[in-house]
Amino acid sequence: MRLPEQYDCFKEIWAIDFEFNDVDGNRPHVVCLVARELRTGRLVRLFEDNVGPLPPYSCGPESLVVAYFATAELDCHLSLGWPLPLNVLDLYVEFRALRNGLPNGPGGRGLLGALIHFGLDHIRADAKDHWRELIIAGGSFDAQQRQGILDYCQTDVDALASLLPKMADSIDLPQALYRGQYMAATSRMQHAGVPIDVEAFKRLQTYWSDIRLDLINRIDTAGVFEGESFRQTRFVDYLMKEDIPWPRLPSGILDLKTETFRAMAKLYPQIAPLHELRHTLSQMRQIKLAVGHDGRNRCLISPFGASTSRNTPQASRFIFGPSAWLRSLIKPRPNAGIAYLDWSQQEIAIAAALSGDENMIEAYDSGDFYLSFAKQAGAVPSWGTKASHKRERDLYKTCALGVQYGLQEQSLALRLELPVVYARQLLQAHKRTYAQFWRWQDQVADAAFLKLKIKSVFGWPLTISSQANPRSVRNFPMQANGAEMLRLATIALQQAGITVCAPVHDAVLIEAPLDQFDETVAQAKLVMEKASLAITNGKVKVRVDADVVKWPERYVDERGWRMWSVVDELTGQLSGNNPAGQ
Amino acid sequence: MGSIFDNLESIREANGGIEKVGVKRIFTNIPVRKPHRQEFVRTHPDPDYRIDCKVLHLKNDNEVYFLHPDVFSYADTDVQHVCLWSAVTRAGAPFLWMLKLPDESGRENSWHQTAKRAAVEAQTQWLKVVANMSAGNYELHIATGDLGEPQWPDADEYPFNKWLEIAFKERMIDQPDHPVLQKLRGEI
């Protein structure tokens, strides 16, 4: 096998693949392992009953482990109590990087897609399905099945052996190994999982279909629903009664998209329970949350799933999916606590640092970006406070957030409930106050569309195709570097010995015993601040907010608290038990 | 194994992952006009960025033609003696502000006087000019807020003769038989 010189530092290069089952909320149960050392061709094939206490290959600094979507393999390592390899090269991640921004080819992003892309032989998809179904069904396998499963597993290992030389020249190895470290960090998070109140969860699962109508009756005090159906005409009446202006589509009908509802619920908190209810009823016919036998939520975090490289966990299976009320199922174990740690206004901080806009950095460092923006633009005197100039602050906040989303003056005016001329003035104020930021964004767009590539600070690339959305391209540095910050912090938190249960967009959920809890939270905040300084090249320390929950309390997201209270009460009544929250 | 923070420089992209590219803003049109009544403007403080000259203003077509000295005598009655000041809007759009100069007898009406005063003041502060019909002159409305400094076109790329070249690229009269002069003489 011929590989570029940079691979010479590894004494061994192992391609590995596991087959496993029983993953619905649980740690994987290993069925078999096939591994091949790529230079010598040495092959290892182990069925579950032959797997030992240590990996049959080196996981140390002189060895490289190659896999495709490595979290699966690394999850198996952790399930077996094996150490994780120090050097992981995930060809899934690198194929994603290579093709990011371009349409998927035949076979998609999977191993099959990569093999087809590079013109390599591959096993047929229907043959794969046959073996996958057999493995997932579990049970005991006869000798012929064991042989077949190992052979099937080996096809993926052989595929990796063919794929690596094809991809090696296009891979920036140090950056790829860094990304591999995050795949290992992700496995550790998937292994840890999020602690769930199992009793409350079981009640919810059991009675969910029975409480839906009662839930509507309790939450929908405006009478917008008819049975389980959301009635637009009734909603219009409600909006008129509440004097709430609602965005409309070009056709004139109400814009009822989930994201519009979510944005409006932020502006009009009275909408929030209705939004939660409508979303929940439409998305959750059944409770699909993946909770393992040990009472912890686990699902595929899907690192690098988004073009910005953010994680894309499956919403219906993840406790931090879009239904905020469901998060009240999170409850620390006895004598433990959890903390939700998120960077404050991460995207603004990144924009300020990368653009080098001193006004924006000063406003972020003030601790209240929106008020400072209003002051810098001359709308609030220097002595003004959040209390004395609430309206001005709110206007400038909506403008600053709108700029992040790329809102134009028409859309901003809608959010502000003001004529377009006010929105225009605010946007002009932003452009004047943060002129360096706007120049930098122009440079980002110019560079992207001229070079047809743009990268995060640690090299996550986006290829610019003819379908590229200019607004997304301009926002890419904020999003992709936000993802970088999360990856770096997650790795660093784990290196500090802190248990990270899950990543949540620009936040993490950590867990610690109560007797070490406060110190752990303080330490975690320092680590996350250090990660932010590394991403912003020392220019901005992004503040970290902590939301802590100590046993026996449960996690509360204020957006979903009312909904949770009603659900908990209704399921408690049906089960004849006291509600879990009482 | 060391800390993840120890070796980050080896994976850091130059310039934050954004390749440096050179992009220039090109000005293809520099209008010759007065500031609009709602428009705050600045004028260039460098005297080299203005010129006394003669122009033909075709009001029906709203077109201003630059007259070469060789053809002054061919358009005698219609010629205006003006000063063209380099000016810029808040959005950084350049234009030439055409200010009438006193006639040969040295007389100057109050419109011209106040417009000239506005151009002088606009060298150092943002202002707009608003016609006061009853007083028969322009009022100067000075911006009270801190609107920042004007964005002038790059001086190396756009010296003043380049401004003139762009502004009059198709409106330079340097021949007695130029169609505009022929038309004024009733020949076509």
pLDDT tens for A428-444 read 999 989 999 999 999 99
Output the six-digit token pair for A366. 């003030």
For A228-235, which contacts have Cβ atoms below 8 Å and span 24 or more sequence positions?
A: A228/A281, A230/A256, A230/A278, A230/A281, A230/A282, A232/A256
Residue closest to B119 by CA, chosen among B93, B91, B100: B100
| Residue position matching structure tokens 């409770």 | A287
Query: With an 8 Å Cβ cutoff, is B11 touching chain A?
Result: yes
Q: What is the DSSP letter of A30?
A: E
Judge whether B187 lies within some domain.
no
Helices A420-433, A409-416: inter-axial angle, 10-degree rounding:
110
Output the six-digit token pair for A88. 């992981």
Judge whether B68 lies within some domain.
yes
* pLDDT at residue A289 is higher than 80: yes
Query: Torsion over CA of B28, B32, B34 and B37, rounded to 10 degrees?
Result: -30
* Alpha-carbon span A23 to A221, nearest angstrom: 41
Number of domains present in the structure of chain B: 1
> Are A510 and A521 a contacting pair, CB within 8 Å?
yes
Domain covering A346-458 in this structure, CATH number: 1.10.150
pLDDT band at A24 (very low <50, low <70, confident <90, very high): confident
Give the per-residue SS3 of A269-325. HHHHHHHHHHHHHHHCCCCCCCECCCCEECCCCCCCCCCCCCCCCCHHHCCCCCCHH
- Calculate how close chain B gets to A354, using CA atoms only, in Å: 7
Contact call for A491 and B4, based on CB within 8 A: yes
Contact call for A443 and B18, based on CB within 8 A: yes
* Alpha-carbon span B157 to B174, nearest angstrom: 26
Sheet holding A43-47, edge to edge: A43-47, A29-37, A12-21, A63-67, A88-90
Closest residue of chain A to B144, computed from CA coordinates:
A378
- Find the mean pLDDT for residues A448-459: 94
Judge whether B30 lies within some domain.
yes
Per-residue pLDDT, B84? 96
Q: By mean pLDDT, which of A117-121, A575-579, B7-11 is the weakest? A: A575-579
Q: By mean pLDDT, which of A181-190, A282-291, A396-405, A446-455 is the weakest? A: A282-291
Cβ-nearest to A454 among B8, B18, B145: B18
CB < 8 Å to B10, chain A: 174
The highest-confidence range among A275-279, A413-417, B113-117, by mean pLDDT, is B113-117
CB < 8 Å to A533, chain B: none
* Alpha-carbon span A431 to A311, nearest angstrom: 32
What is the dihedral sign for C-alpha A284, A288, A294, A297?
negative
- Find the mean pLDDT for residues B28-42: 93
Per-residue pLDDT, A578? 57
Pairing of strands B41-43, A544-550: unpaired
pLDDT band at A581 (very low <50, low <70, confident <90, very high): very low
Write down the domain spans for chain A: 5-191, 193-299+555-582, 346-458
Per-residue pLDDT, A580? 47
Query: With an 8 Å Cβ cutoff, is B26 touching chain A?
Result: no
* Alpha-carbon span B39 to A41, nearest angstrom: 76
Average pLDDT over all residues of chain A: 92
CB < 8 Å to B38, chain A: none
Judge whether B10 lies within some domain.
no
Output the furthest CA–CA distance in chain B (Å, rounded). 92
Closest residue of chain A to B2, computed from CA coordinates:
A495
Q: By mean pLDDT, which of A62-76, B76-90, B154-168 is the weakest? A: B76-90
* pLDDT at residue B1 is higher than 80: no
pLDDT digits (tens, 9 = 90+) for A297-350: 999 999 999 999 999 998 889 999 868 889 999 999 999 999 999 999 999 999
Phi, psi of A292 (to 5 degrees): -80, 175
* Alpha-carbon span A50 to A363, nearest angstrom: 61
pLDDT digits (tens, 9 = 90+) for A185-230: 999 999 999 999 999 999 998 998 888 888 888 888 888 998 888 8
* Alpha-carbon span A572 to A582, nearest angstrom: 10
* Alpha-carbon span A91 to A157, nearest angstrom: 12
* pLDDT at residue B75 is higher than 80: no
* Alpha-carbon span A326 to A330, nearest angstrom: 8
Judge whether B146 lies within some domain.
yes
- The DSSP-derived string for A182-244 is HHHHHHHHHHH-EEB-HHHHHHHHHHHHHHHHHHHHHH-TT--EETTEEPHHHHHHHHHHHT-
Per-residue pLDDT, A213? 86
* Alpha-carbon span A558 to A549, nearest angstrom: 14
Contact call for A454 and B146, based on CB within 8 A: no
The highest-confidence range among A20-24, A237-241, A577-581, by mean pLDDT, is A237-241
Cβ-nearest to A457 among B16, B21, B148: B16
Top-confidence residue, A512 or A420 = A512
Q: What is the pTM of this model?
A: 0.83
* Alpha-carbon span A559 to A121, nearest angstrom: 51
Write out the CATH class of domain A5-191. alpha beta
Omega before A106 cis (within 30°)? Answer: no
Per-residue pLDDT, A124? 73
Contact call for B11 and A178, based on CB within 8 A: yes
* Alpha-carbon span A158 to A176, nearest angstrom: 21
Per the structure, the complete domain to which residue B46 belongs is given by 26-181
Per-residue pLDDT, A579? 53
Residues paired with residue A246 on neighbouring β-strands, in sequence order: none
The secondary element (H helix, E strand) that includes residue A347 is helix A346-355
Judge whether B171 lies within some domain.
yes
Give the best residue of A84, A443, A474, A494 to mutate against chain B (max B CB count within 10 A): A443
Residue closest to B167 by CA, chosen among B32, B17, B45, B1: B32
pLDDT band at A277 (very low <50, low <70, confident <90, very high): confident
Q: What is the DSSP letter of B75?
A: G
Please list the alpha-helical segments (H only) found in A434-516.
Answer: 435-451, 470-495
- Measured between its terminal Cα atoms, the distance across chain B in Å is 90
Per-residue pLDDT, A253? 84
Side chain identity at residue A91, one-letter code: L
The highest-confidence range among A115-129, B59-73, B152-166, by mean pLDDT, is B152-166
CB < 8 Å to B147, chain A: 432
